[in-house]
Structure 1
Amino acid sequence: MNHTGPRHELAPRRTAFLFDLDGTLVDSVYQHVLAWREALIEAGIDLAVWTIHRKIGMSGGLMANAVLRETGRAVTPEKAKELKDLHKEAYGRLSGQVRPLPGAKDLLNYLSDADVPWAIATSGGVASAGPTLEMLDVPEGVPIVTRDEVSHAKPDPDLFLAAAEKLGVSMDDAVVVGDSVWDLLAARRARALGVGLLAGGYGQEELERAGAYRVYQDPADLLTHLDEVGVRAE
């Protein structure tokens, strides 16, 4: 049977991007690693640097708990807070070394110019994230979600869910971009597509195993492949 009634074209669905911050848009992972190393030494805990790196991307509280468990120390709220405070102090001294990753500003500017919605969701607190966001020249009105605003940080999905809500988009239309397995596990739990970047030090296979359906070197590499993740030039 031929259908002779009027045909209604569906509006195209627009992809929205939810970005992690450290290791995804700014080159800060190793400053965080060294800050945690300094905090642990001050607290009398000896842990190899590579072990610390494997946990970067978690919230500070989860990181402290994981480190204490691994070293056999009692996981008390007081000890976890001490480590978080020591890390914050040490990172403050190292944060002047942090720079945007290659292509980060160009990528964000391109998305803004193309009217593609995007937001940033970081496991860091507002105090540490503020100066970093200034480096990226984030336009006014772009949603920023920090650890202070949600109940649980990565690998829980709360940060990305809150960012999508601020953008007014469904997670079905969201692409989470992150550099760690914790970002991608959170993306899976939020039921969003995950894109991994190698800029934070995790390997391609690790990121793919955690749920990345595409992996790129850094923001510059992602920018040249945006058509692969649903953004096409008009």
Structure 2
Amino acid sequence: MSDTALLDVDGTLVDTNYQHALAWFRAFRRFDLTLPVWRIHRAVGMGGDQLVPAVAGEEFEDAHGDAARDAWTEEYEPMSGEVQPFDGARDLLVELRRRGWKVVLASSGQQDQVEGYLDLMGARDLVDGWTTSQDAESTKPAPDLFHAALQRVGGSSGVVLGDSTWDFEAAGNAGMTAVAVRTGGFSSEELTTAGAVAVFDSLRDLLEGLDGTPLSHPS
């Protein structure tokens, strides 16, 4: 029985993907590694433990992985004040709760960032729980984070909402159905190929079409 809506945060509820890509670009530059920003963006949605070796290689990960992740945190912080929720983010949380879903934010972000986004959306009273980078040994596209999020709220089964291909690979690995929004900058074809059963251009479009999706009602 699907009783839990598991929502990705970065790129799905709040507009952060391009800030993340630029922060990673600047972090890698500290180690004299210049990567195309578009290629980094293709990996945004992975956790940092997965992203660094994916874009910079295992040799770089072994030599500089933890330092690069620390550098990313330092580079992202000055841009965090630019982050805004997507139009409809809070309304979607309200509507999912009204329809009877348990709502959990399935994020691999740092705790202060996730809690900051909750405050930005005024959503602490609209969710049943949330995860952070501390809650899963392996991040997306591994399924650990979705399993941890489901366990956090005592859910039986979940439906995922995300924006990146990695969300849908992780959902598939967790045996969960998933719905996509294009707010992270990925194409409809990429998202459906990765496993999304429905794709919407925005959260407002999703709200208008919610009845035709697996997020319509718990079942």
Specify the TM-score bucket, using the shorter chain as the normaliser.
over 0.9
Tell me the distance in 1 between the aligned counterparts of 2:66 and 2:124.
33
- Say which of 120, 124, 146 aligns to 2:109: 124
Q: Secondary structure at the match of 2:45?
A: coil
Query: Rg larger in 1 or in 2?
Result: 1
Between 18-27 and 58-67, report the one with greater CA deviation.
58-67
Write the distance in 1 (CA, Å) between the matches of 2:98 and 2:178: 23
Q: What's the counterpart of residue 93 of structure 2?
A: 108
In the comparison of the two structures, how many residue pairs are matched? 215
CA distance in structure 1 between the aligned counterparts of 2:176 and 2:10, rounded to whole angstroms: 20
Q: What is the one-letter code of the residue matched to 1:163?
A: A
Matches of 1:175 and 1:221, distance apart in 2:
18
Deviations 1:28-75 (A, max 9, x none): 100101111111112210111100000001111211122221xx8443
- The residue that corresponds to 1:221 in the other structure is 205
Counterpart of 1:27 in 2: which secondary structure?
coil
RMSD: 1.6
Aligned to 1:182, which of 166, 169, 173?
Answer: 166
Match of 1:10 in 2: none
The match for 1:4 is: none
Alignment match, 2:27: 39
Give the match's secondary structure for 1:195.
Answer: strand
User: What is the CA-CA distance between 1:112 and the residue it aligns to?
Assistant: 2.1
1:7 aligns with: none
> Is there any run of 5+ residues in structure 2 with no aligned partner, and where?
none
- 2:75 paired residue among 61, 86, 90: 90
Contact 1:25 1:101 in 2 (8 A): yes
Q: Give, in angstroms, the shift of residue 102 of structure 1.
A: 1.3
Equivalent pair of 2:46/2:140 in contact (CA under 8 Å): yes
Answer whether contact 2:6 2:159 (CA < 8 A) is retained: yes
Question: Is 2:192 aligned against 1:208?
Answer: yes
**Which residue type is aligned with residue 145 of structure 1?**
T
Partner of 1:68: 56
**Which segment is superposed worse, 140-149 or 24-33?**
140-149
How far does residue 14 in structure 1 lie from its aligned partner after superposition? 5.6
Q: 1:74 to 1:139 in 2, by over 3 A?
A: closer
The alignment status of 1:166 with 2:146, answered yes or no, reads no
Instruction: Name the stretch that deviates more: 113-122 or 94-103.
Output: 113-122
- TM-score, length basis structure 2: 0.92
SS of alignment partner, residue 118 of structure 1: strand
- SS of residue in 2 equivalent to 1:176: strand
Q: Which moved further from structure 2: 16-25 or 157-166?
A: 157-166
Percent of counterpart pairs with the same letter? Answer: 37
Question: What code does the residue aligned with 1:164 have?
Answer: L
| Cα offset, 1:168, TM superposition | 2.0
> 1 or 2 for the larger relative contact order (CA 8 Å, sep ≥6)?
2
Partner of residue 18, structure 1:
6
* Contact 2:180–2:196 (CA under 8 A) maintained in structure 1: yes
Q: Secondary structure at the match of 1:54?
A: helix
Amino acid at match of 2:6: L
1:99 alignment partner, SS class? coil
Q: Distance in 2 between matches of 1:58 and 1:181?
A: 9
Output the CA distance in 2 between the equivalents of 1:216 and 1:35. 27
Could you tell me how far apart the structure 2 residues matched to 1:104 and 1:138 are?
Answer: 9
